Homo-oligomer: A and B are copies of this chain.
Amino acid sequence: MTQPFTHLFAGNNLNRFSILRSNKTFLAASLTSPYTRFIALRALDPLLKPSESPKRVEIAWLTSATVQGAIDNGAFVALLGVDEEEEVEEFQIEKTNGQSMAVKGRAYWAVDMTPTSQDKGVIERINKELEESHGAQYSPLRQKLSELPWSRDTAILAQARAIVDWNTRNQFCPGCGRKTVSEEAGYKRVCPRASKDQQKATASSVDPEPKGEAQAVDEQQQPACLSLSGVHNFQYPRTDPVVIVAIVHPTDPNKILLGRQSRFPPGWYTCIAGFMEGGETLEEACRREVWEEAGVKVGPVFYHSSQPWPFPNSIMLGCIGMATTEEIDLGDQELEDAKWFTREQVLGAISPYESSSKDTPKRDDIQLRIPPPYAIAHQLIKAWAERWKGYNLADAKM
């Protein structure tokens, strides 16, 4: 391809500055700065507002003044990063090695505006005001995918949703069941059942959540939780890798394998996808999924591109694979059907998304429907249909 490729949810230009996640001075300054912008989520639904373009929406960015009351009442916040292209202010940062650095730009945070028992009144009042006076609305993300811009704003939303979701769903230590405490501006949750040394180290880091969840006081005499020994990956946000793959026919490169689940709209087919498992490569995961769902064996696999997919925390790893067998067997019954489609059928399925509405084929004439352009599946299918002239097999990885 001649143009760099981007997907919906790609193109996040924030510098995440992970070193700032434990910098008390920066966190306090940027949380209250009038230049800082907040993305608000309620039960993971983002606050959106109508865009100037018809049938489009955009993020309703909030200021610290608007959300201060919610934060003061315990709303969860997470640092997203700094847009260095917006040189609105400068933060002087003292690094742990004693050196100082200047961070220029605009800070971005996520704020969870889901009412809870402790902060219900305040947060509900702010939400009501936002919806009534500003025309903004909390909307289920899946329903808005086709109305969102393919820009860094939507990519930042993906980041915000992933980090808020992970914190929401991981309130308790999976190692011992105790309530965990947020640290590092939303990027770590720590079990309070730490050893004294570990607690001491923990206390020196910064918790941007103003209200104490800590209950560690009476735990100090107990042995440390296993979450604090060895590699304790479960204290950090999870990102689930998913393989998604368009499969080319073993003898006719003008045919591609697509499948459908019973819940899909009529005629709708797409790429085969599934979560990676432990102990397999990207390419092995593609072969396993295609065999499990369609009974087709796959040889060489080519990575194409990836897409963050915040439902809730996936990274879609898009590939194109070469089948070595043709016969289809819906082995694990996850698919209702799978078929080999011709390039002509696929081009016919792409065209409604690219034509103005009057040129769109009538619904009855459509033999095949595929997902819209915001889905990486669409882009993989399109890449094959429009550009594929045969990969260099020597480049395939096993």
Contact = CB atoms under 8 A, between A and B. Distances in A.
Contacts of A64: none
B162 A169 contact: no
Contact of A241 (B169, B173, B315): B315
B233 A279 contact: no
B332 A18 contact: yes
B279 A158 contact: yes
B281 A7 contact: yes
A4 interface: yes
Interface residues of A, number: 86
Interface string A283-306: 110001001100000001001111
Complex copy number for this chain: 2
A178 interface: yes
Nearest to A333: B97
A332 B19 contact: yes
A365 to B, nearest CB: 33
B96 A159 contact: no
A5 B169 contact: no
A201 interface: no
Interface string A4-29: 11110111100110110000000000
A148 to B, nearest CB: 14
A173 B179 CA distance: 11
Nearest to A43: B230
A391 B238 CA distance: 32
A151 interface: no
A347 interface: no
B158 A331 contact: no
Interface stretch (A120-128, A254-262, A270-278): A270-278
Interface of A: 1-2, 4-7, 9-12, 15-16, 18-19, 95-97, 155-163, 166, 168-179, 226-227, 230-234, 236-241, 275-284, 288, 291-292, 300, 303-308, 310-313, 315, 317, 331-333, 394-398
22 contacts: A1-B395, A4-B300, A5-B398, A6-B398, A9-B279, A10-B398, A16-B277, A18-B292, A19-B292, A19-B331, A159-B277, A160-B279, A162-B278, A170-B174, A171-B175, A172-B174, A233-B238, A233-B240, A233-B312, A241-B315, A280-B315, A282-B315
